[in-house]
Amino acid sequence: MTQAFSSIRINPDRMLDAFNQLASIGATADSGVDRPTFSEAHLAARKWFREHIESSGLEFRTDGAGNHSAFLPCDDPNAPTLILGSHLDSVPNGGRFDGALGVMAALEALKTVRENRIKLKVQLEAMDFTDEEGTLVGLLGSAAVAGHLLPENLEKPRGGREKLLDGMARAGLTDASMLSAARKKESLAGYLELHIEQGKRLERAGTNIGIVTAIVGIWSYRLSFIGKADHAGSTTMEDRRDASLGASAFTLMAREMVMRDFPNCVVNVGKMDFAPGAFNIVPAQVDVSLEFRSPDEAEFIRLDQALLKLAGEQAARFGLELRTEFLGKHSPSLMDESVRAAFADSCDALGLTHMPLPSGAGHDGQSLADLCPVGMIFVPSVDGASHSPREFTKWEDCVNGANVLLQAALRLGNG
Amino acid sequence: MTQAFSSIRINPDRMLDAFNQLASIGATADSGVDRPTFSEAHLAARKWFREHIESSGLEFRTDGAGNHSAFLPCDDPNAPTLILGSHLDSVPNGGRFDGALGVMAALEALKTVRENRIKLKVQLEAMDFTDEEGTLVGLLGSAAVAGHLLPENLEKPRGGREKLLDGMARAGLTDASMLSAARKKESLAGYLELHIEQGKRLERAGTNIGIVTAIVGIWSYRLSFIGKADHAGSTTMEDRRDASLGASAFTLMAREMVMRDFPNCVVNVGKMDFAPGAFNIVPAQVDVSLEFRSPDEAEFIRLDQALLKLAGEQAARFGLELRTEFLGKHSPSLMDESVRAAFADSCDALGLTHMPLPSGAGHDGQSLADLCPVGMIFVPSVDGASHSPREFTKWEDCVNGANVLLQAALRLGNG
């Protein structure tokens, strides 16, 4: 790497200005943002991103999956593209940093390369991937780019088909356009992402940068515990087949089992839907929204079997029927060694401490990991808060992360 | 009682015809009815009832609480009124018999008295009480008639204030009209109700008629278990404050405690509402819809304390905050001895077997029990099903109940 490149830094004030403009779109009263995929606020954020790219002199690009990007070509039109990116959608009532920081840092990196007239051997692209968070499908835009998206993923999305159709219509997309967004393997030089950690490990260790070793996989199910609707006053406790009991026992015991037998994994019951859902009716059905994560494929298979067995046992214990609906999975992904080394070298050159970390959260990089070299870095999350308005990262940490992202892109794009 | 009176019977075919017309309004595909208070189907059933009363030559009456009735005067305009009745609203996806049978039997009793030109010493009224089931408030119309309804009951109804306001608007009612429906104690001769048992005791005993000894009381709460929204992948299991755990543990342990320590009581968690309610967010808050019932006031106080203590313990166990919102109560009510005797004598005269039973369900009679003599009878529920489309009572049992209701009204109205 040339000496000239190693002294290049992003413009912290310019990045902060863009970050704050974006954070104001869909802002909630408690300093968070509410921008689920293709909500009004999300569409407004997408429009702002497009206009911001165009007004800053970069080329705006989009594809059939609704991914938006800024493009900075190199001299060789046949050179592959190094994508930097993240996502502008949020979970409901989420935070300002998750996704948004990565997109703003990627955009700032392109602005910095452009204003410094740096000649790289790759095209650079700063990308906002569609529906990372899973309001509709999850990792949707990146799966489409990777060519992993299948018609059946769109037929049975975890947010429901109706919601997906509504959302795609609002964004001018269709099933067919989604499936057309795949890129050729040879067109990609790699994918780099800066993200907040969403955990407490960097903060506890007092370390500047986490270099991701692997992204955990995610499997999700809808488990329906089915009993019998009965009068909640006149039916004796013994005579009830109360669906809430199976759902409650499963929720408690799944947590205990994962903590005891699967220490590298996590499980979440994010929602229960009660039917008919009245004070004075014994619940006939409770639908449990279940998700679990593992960094290892073999462990996933064991955990899946153990959770379904537990659900069946708890249904039987309370005289209930169990129905299981598999809603989809993302496999665990290892990060590329050469990209990890580029991040580590960049940290060292910038005088920043770093440590290897697995990612407990899913990220778009996992879609792309078998297509091109993929790497991620984390910056510290204050108190580990995430998917919450309490989400916060100190601005100097955001700037550190953006400089590491830029430096790693320069190293990889110059090689 | 005169010999002439004791041979009077209701017209089973006429009652069946009316019952079937009513059951078709808000009918569901699985033979149930869906007529929550002031829903379109409930408003249609109310309109049908009014038109049916008017076309059958009885006087239609209504009051500020939206109670509808058929009125049959006696010769003395100053005589008190003996009310027979029940309710036309249903729980969501309920059955055809709960409430509807009692109103149709009351109406048929008035038709029978009228066509037989029987002179009684009381006015007769066949009443449909508003919102017995508690879509909005619960026992709403009868509480209004009894003068027990307070402005605060309308301010903080268990279904939420918005829903109450919407419903009252659709029925042309207001807070002020509701509070104006109270009747004077001296205007009431008594209240009699026929209802399905909603349990299996009569069926198991092979007995025709249950004569209710007391109606259990009902207390209800919204319990909010409050934790912290966090990323469901990157937050370790140990670091979570997952609101679902407190709600689930409470649900399981409340059931165990009631079965062990409060055998005369029942408890129900009819619904949980998860916030934010996404697959990939640790639940920050779970609101538990809690209802419990007891035939005894002192036991209520012990059960209330035990349940709130349990909820607090389970919240603390999982690092959660607990907020409790008391949504209202109905005290247990003893049925009148003279009315019970009139029912028993009527059964004996009709050759029907009978047994004393407490009512595990709440009924409008409990609103009126401190105003006038109140009594209820039950007819057998097949398999005990209730608040469900599976609710069923053999028509001959319905006819038996209607004849006991008529005979008891004749005995009490002739006294």
Cβ(A381)–Cβ(A197) below 8 Å: yes
Q: Which two tokens stand for residue A168?
A: 């795609």
pLDDT at A1 over 70: no
Amino acid letter for position A327: L
Query: In a mutagenesis test of the B interface, which of A137, A139, A268, A379 is the best target, namely the one with the most B β-carbons within 10 Å?
Result: A268
Mutate one of B30, B132, B135, B268 to test the A interface: name it (highest A CB count within 10 A): B268
> Mapping DSSP to helix (H, G, I), strand (E, B) and coil, where does residue A159 land?
coil
Helix (H) or strand (E) holding B214: strand B209-215
Cβ–Cβ below 8 Å for A231 and B360: yes
Dmax (CA) of chain B: 82
The confidence score (pLDDT) of residue B156 equals 87
The answer to whether B178 touches B149, Cβ cutoff 8 Å, is: yes
Q: Is the pLDDT of residue A20 over 60?
A: yes
CB B135 within 8 A of CB B62: no
* Chain A, nearest residue to B287 by Cα: A272
List chain B residues with CB under 8 Å of A93: 229, 276
Partners of B97 on chain A (C-beta within 8 Å) are none
Residue type, A204: R
The angle formed by the CA atoms of residues A135, A140 and A145, to the nearest 5 degrees, is: 165
* pLDDT value for A295: 86
Among A289, A389, A405, A292, CA closest to A342: A405
Which pLDDT score is estimated for B230?
Answer: 86
Tell me whether residue B239 is exposed, middle or buried, using C-beta atoms within 10 angstroms of its C-beta: 0 to 12, 13 to 18, 19 or more. middle
* b/e per residue A27-43 (b: at least 16 CB within 10 A): bbeeebbbbbbbbebbb
Query: A3-216+333-413: what fold?
Result: Aminopeptidase (3.40.630)
Query: Across the interface, do B232 and A197 touch by the CB < 8 Å criterion?
Result: no
The pLDDT confidence band at residue A164, using thresholds 50, 70 and 90, is very high
Q: What is the pLDDT of residue B3?
A: 56
Contact A299, A262 (CB under 8 A): yes
pLDDT at residue A398 tops 90: yes
Give me the pLDDT at residue A246, please.
Answer: 98
Please give the pLDDT value at position B26: 97
- Give pLDDT tens digits for A56-84: 999 999 999 999 999 999 999 999 999 99
User: Which of B6, B51, B49, B2 lies closest to B25 in space, CA to CA?
Assistant: B49
Alpha-carbon distance of A167 to B364, in angstroms, equals: 47
Nearest CA in chain A to B198: A234
Minimal C-alpha gap between A403 and chain B (Å): 24
Least Cα distance to A132 among B242, B234, B280, B277 occurs for: B280
Residues in A touching B267 (Cβ below 8 Å): 237
Sorting pLDDT into bands at 50, 70 and 90, what band is A388? confident
Cβ burial A191-202 (10 Å sphere, 16+ → b, else e): bbbbbbbbbbbb
The answer to whether A244 contacts B92, with C-beta atoms less than 8 Å apart, is no
Distance from CA of B119 to the nearest CA of A (A): 38
Of A245, A251, A289, which has the smallest distance from its Cβ to B255's Cβ? A245
Backbone angles phi, psi at B206, to 5 degrees: 65, 35
What B239-242 contacts at long range (C-beta under 8 Å, 24+ apart), as own/partner pairs, is: B239/A199, B239/A200, B239/A384, B240/B282, B241/B282, B241/B318, B241/B319, B241/B320, B242/A255, B242/A268, B242/B282, B242/B283, B242/B318
* Beta-carbon separation of B218 and A233 below 8 A: yes
For residue B312, the model assigns a pLDDT of 98
Name the phi and psi angles at B353, rounded to 5.
Answer: -80, 150
Nearest residue of chain B to residue A269 (CA atoms)? B279
**Bridge partner list, A119:** none
User: Tell me, what amino acid is at A263?
Assistant: P
Q: Helix and strand tally (H, E) in chain B?
A: 14, 15
Q: How far is A259 from chain B (nearest CA, A)?
A: 7
Separation in Å, CA of B316 to nearest CA in chain A: 15
Nearest-angstrom CA–CA distance, A46 and B273: 32
Identify the residue among B35, B279, B363 best suited for mutation to test binding to A, counting A beta carbons within 10 A and taking the highest.
B279
> For residue A295, what is the nearest residue in chain B, using CA coordinates?
B233
Token couple for A362 = 């899913």
415 residues of chain B, pLDDT tens digit each: 555 688 999 999 999 999 999 999 999 999 999 999 999 999 999 999 999 999 999 999 999 999 999 999 999 999 999 999 999 999 999 999 999 999 999 999 999 999 999 999 999 999 999 999 999 999 999 999 999 999 988 998 978 899 999 999 999 999 999 999 999 999 999 999 999 999 899 999 999 999 999 999 999 999 999 999 888 988 889 999 999 999 999 999 999 999 999 998 999 999 999 999 999 899 999 999 999 999 889 999 999 999 999 999 999 999 999 999 999 888 899 999 999 999 999 999 999 999 999 899 889 999 999 999 999 999 999 999 888 899 999 999 999 999 999 999 999 998 6
- Count Cα atoms within 13 angstroms, Cβ side, for B325: 13
ipTM score assigned to the predicted complex: 0.75
Return d(Cα A323, Cα A337) in angstroms, integer. 42
CA dist B198 and B360 (Å) reads: 8
B253: its two tokens: 């342990």
CA distances from A84 to A110, A191, B281 (A): 9, 6, 26
Q: Which amino acid type is present at position A21?
A: Q
- Does domain B3-216+332-413 fall under CATH 3.40.630.10? My reply is yes
Are A281 and B270 within 8 A, CB to CB?
yes
φ, ψ for residue A95 (rounded to 5)?
-110, 175
Domain locations in chain A as residue ranges = 3-216+333-413, 217-330
B148-160 as b/e, with b when 16 or more CB fall inside 10 Å?
bbeeebbeebbbe
What does the pLDDT read at residue A296?
Answer: 87
Cβ contact (<8 Å) for A281 and B293? no
| Number of other residues whose CB lies within 10 A of the CB of residue A179 | 17
* Backbone torsions φ then ψ of A319, nearest 5 degrees: 70, 30
Q: Do B279 and A289 touch (CB under 8 A)?
A: yes
CA distance B296 to chain A (A): 14
Tokens of A119: 């000649």
Phi, psi of B328 (to 5 degrees): 135, 165
CATH of A217-330, one of 3.40.50.10420, 3.40.50.970, 3.30.70.360, 3.40.50.1390: 3.30.70.360
Among A238, A270, A278, beta carbon nearest to B92: A278
Instruction: Give the separation between CA A160 and CA A350, rounded to whole angstroms.
Output: 46
pLDDT of residue B386: 86
At residue A203, the pLDDT reads: 96
Interatomic CA distance for residues B199 and A276, integer angstroms? 19
pLDDT of residue A2: 56
* pLDDT one-digit tens code per residue, A78-136: 999 999 999 999 999 999 999 999 999 999 999 999 999 999 999 999 999 999 999 99
Contact A234 B198 (CB under 8 A): yes
Q: How far is B4 from chain A (nearest CA, A)?
A: 38
